[in-house]
């Protein structure tokens, strides 16, 4: 058995496999299939300061090799997470990543501060949310606003801070460099790509929100490319995500520069995907004489 341990921003994970925020909830449903302790960590459902009902349905649509969603950060709010979900997760022997989101800088900073002194191991700041004070453009589409919110959250929390980057930008490396300079300890990428499906019988978009985030295997090559670009642009660790479905995908993403990975859409078609991937990583390492999986990070050899 190979050593699958990886370290991200000073936090050690028993393996690099982390279910992505929004795809795994808080693990309660999946725990009927396997113990959560087999996972490297869990990035919990995106948490906002107050309870959110999310967007009106329909808010999920199938696409070739993927899916669109416009769930809209439905969650019970920070107090419910801290008082109900976190105490349960803290007993599961896995790392806890609190994914947070807000409509203003102040809201995100307040949320991050609420994680201090708790069992949370790391804060993941979602900067794909619209900035209501600046015309609704996402924080993460502009280096200046990305740096502003990162700096405020960094100041508010004593937890390691990972910033989740949007791919809906011209140059993701500029955003990555901006959040690194503002104090981010790590970055995670990519969040979903903006997409749309239309019902040709009604002439209306399938999603009530008209557009949604595209995830699944279709986005994997884009995610690998962006992880590789960011790896060569910053000095902080990367958690890669976007269409990962197999152990081979994990290896590829790590070779591109990821220290660990998050997996989301694959769970909707196979609840056991994470278990199979961890088993596959052990088999790959054994077959290729790899003693420490972490050693493969960034080992791709460009032509």
Active site residues: 129
Q: Taking a C-beta distance cutoff of 8 angstroms, is the pair 18, 43 a contact?
A: yes
Alpha-carbon gap, residue 266 to 67, rounded angstroms? 10
Q: Are 242 and 263 in contact (CB under 8 A)?
A: no
Is the CB of residue 36 less than 8 Å from the CB of residue 42? yes
Helices (H), the chain: 78-80, 86-89, 105-114, 143-156, 172-181, 220-231, 247-256, 266-269, 273-287
Distance CA 168, CA 182 (A): 21
* Residue 65 · residue 218 · CB < 8 Å: yes
Peptide bond connecting 49 to the previous residue in cis, omega within 30 degrees of 0: no
Which position has the token pair 């995500």? 241
CA–CA distances in Å: residue 207 to residues 4, 195, 265, 267: 40, 10, 17, 21
* Cα–chain center distance at 66: 17
CB of 241 within 8 A of CB of 273? no
Structure token pair of residue 284:
């790959």
- 155: which 2 tokens? 């100041």
């Amino acid at each position: 058995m190979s050593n699958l341990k990886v370290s991200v921003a000073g936090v050690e994970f028993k393996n690099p496999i982390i279910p992505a925020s929004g795809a795994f909830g808080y693990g309660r449903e999946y725990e009927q299939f396997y113990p959560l302790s087999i996972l490297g960590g869990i990035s919990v459902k995106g948490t906002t300061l107050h309870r959110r009902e999310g967007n009106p349905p329909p808010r999920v649509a199938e696409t070739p090799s993927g899916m669109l969603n416009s769930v809209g950060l439905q969650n019970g709010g920070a107090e419910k997470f801290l008082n109900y979900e976190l105490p349960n997760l803290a007993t599961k022997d896995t790392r806890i990543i609190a994914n947070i989101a807000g409509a203003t800088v102040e809201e995100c900073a307040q949320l991050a501060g609420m994680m201090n002194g708790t069992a949370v191991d790391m804060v993941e700041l979602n900067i794909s949310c619209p900035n209501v004070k600046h015309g609704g453009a996402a924080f993460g589409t502009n280096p200046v606003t990305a740096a502003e919110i990162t700096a405020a959250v960094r100041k508010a929390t004593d937890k390691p801070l990972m910033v989740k980057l949007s791919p809906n930008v011209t140059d993701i490396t500029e955003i990555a460099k901006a959040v690194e300079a503002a104090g981010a300890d790590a970055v995670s990428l990519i969040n979903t790509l903006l997409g749309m499906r239309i019902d040709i019988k009604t002439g209306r978009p399938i999603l009530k929100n008209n557009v949604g985030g595209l995830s699944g295997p279709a986005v994997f090559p884009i995610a690998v490319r962006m992880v590789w670009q960011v790896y060569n642009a910053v000095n902080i660790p990367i958690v890669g995500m976007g269409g990962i479905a197999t152990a081979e995908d994990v290896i590829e993403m790590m070779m591109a520069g990821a220290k660990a990975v998050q997996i989301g859409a694959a769970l909707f078609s196979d609840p056991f995907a994470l278990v199979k991937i961890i088993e596959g990583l052990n088999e790959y390492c054994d077959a290729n004489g790899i003693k420490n999986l972490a050693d493969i990070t960034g080992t791709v050899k460009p032509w």
